[in-house]
Amino acid sequence: MLDARSAMASAKPFVSEALTLREAPDFTIQQLSWFTTADEKSLKQALGAMPLRVGSTAESDHGLLLRIGPRQLWCFGKLPEFYGDVLVTPLSSSRTRIEVAGAKSRDLLTHCAAIDFHENAFKPGHFVMTGIHHTPVTIHCIAENQFHLYALRTFGLSVWEWLVDASEGLTNA
């Protein structure tokens, strides 16, 4: 197997008492797209689960599912056999995943994106597709104060630098 290289090979984790940032590599994303509600139904059957609204997630036998569009999903596991018009686009290299954790993680996110990150408004299991540093980033709340950020790979290091710069201000204050 060819060596896999991350877009953030040069970045070191940022560790402080209330805030930790590090790369969370090694994930698989398959984008699934379809056209009709019938397609969606059969896909739901094949996967065993289906998040219904854009921005919601579901755990399935085939891994985590993120509903990224009205007729699109991201699947983080191994795909089942499909029947019908389901299109697959592998996207595992297209994103860099950054994990943000700690008591100040919500504070950090308010420095970076125009989303309401209050704990009552953005709960574990939710995700948003929004902008950080002018680039599209998907932010997934995986636990109370723990988040996965999916930045476009080619902007990954730049988004990382932007997050670390904000973190330094937060933890030195």
Nearer to another protein, 48 or 123 (CB): 123
Provide the 10 A C-beta neighbour count for residue 10: 8
Query: Which residue type occupies 79?
Result: L
| Residue 64 Cβ vs another protein, minimum distance, rounded to whole Å | 18
- Element (H or E) spanning 61, and its range? none
Least Å distance, CB 15 to another protein, is: 21
Q: Which is nearer to another protein, 62 or 95 (CB)?
A: 95
Residues within the interface to another protein (CB under 8 A):
1-7, 9-10, 31, 33, 35, 54-55, 68-72, 85, 87, 89-95, 110-111, 113-116, 118, 121, 128-131, 133-136, 152-155, 157-159, 161-162, 165-166, 169, 173
Residue 61 or 165: which CB sits closer to another protein?
A: 165
Residue with smaller CB distance to another protein, 46 or 166: 166
Structure tokens at 18: 């209330």
Q: In angstroms, what is the minimal distance from the CB of 150 to another protein?
A: 11
Q: What's the closest the beta carbon of residue 7 comes to another protein, in angstroms?
A: 7
